[in-house]
Chain A
Amino acid sequence: MTPELSRTLNAIGMLAVSLVLALAFFYQLVLYELPCPLCLLQRVGFVAVGVGLGLNLLYGARPQHYAIVLIAALYGGSVSIRQILLHIVPGTGHYGSPVLGLHYYTWAGIAFFLVLLGTSIMLLFERQYVGSSDHEPRFGGNTLAKIAFFVMLALAVLNAGSTLLECGPGICADPPTSYKLIDELDAGN
């Protein structure tokens, strides 16, 4: 696998993770289903995956960057599994609407598993590391890599804003019922 192909595949991976975040946002805004604290921590896990992928996009693939992706995916997967286990016993309810028969946290668990699998497969190809140096321009001139990096950055900024509105500066309500910061600002006026 050439370094250029590796960078393109990492960019596609970054866009796929961005799509997951964008879909979660879509459901939050369209169905007004506010993400619970554990759901928000899963989103944080996806952004953390984006940090590792972003390093691959910026400076070329390195095992250290893939390690960051793996650690982030392990964290996100742990949050998903914890939430799945909270609802696995019959009669313990669920959180949010199902999408194609599965709840968000189950889809998130599958997505983190796929990140782990995809990263492990990418680590098998050693020729992608040849020629990557600190003197290479950012993104190696790859436009898709640049787009993917800034899409993830924009989604992270949007999530930070949305989470601040939902939780305020303190602890997130569990389950959330409204945008706490907006309510507090309204109450203050």
Chain B
Amino acid sequence: MIALLFVLFIATMGLNYFNITKAGNALFFVTLAICIYWLKFHATTPLTIQL
């Protein structure tokens, strides 16, 4: 699923390139929200904190 985050940011850059910046900004913050979810997931998963 982390690959999807890269894809969404690439899409954001694409929208910005074609001057659809409002949609680009919206997609940026949606993607960032998903990023925070995955940070929470991977930073608190037992495997990660078990080392």
Give residues in A with beta carbon < 8 Å to B: 37-38, 40-41, 43-45, 47-48, 50-51, 54-55, 58-59, 68, 71-72, 75, 78-79, 82, 86-87, 92-93, 134, 138, 149, 152-153, 156-157, 159-161, 163-164, 167, 169-172, 174-175
Contact = CB atoms under 8 A, between A and B. Distances in A.
A13 to B, nearest CB: 15
A81 B20 CA distance: 34
A87 B50 CA distance: 11
B39 A156 contact: no
Interface of B: 1-3, 5-7, 9-10, 12-13, 16-17, 19, 21, 24-25, 28, 31-32, 35-36, 38-39, 41-43, 45, 47-49, 51
Chain B facing A: main interface SS: helix
A164 B43 contact: no
Contacts of A171: 1, 41
A93 B31 CA distance: 31
Contact of B32 (A75, A92, A93, A159): A75
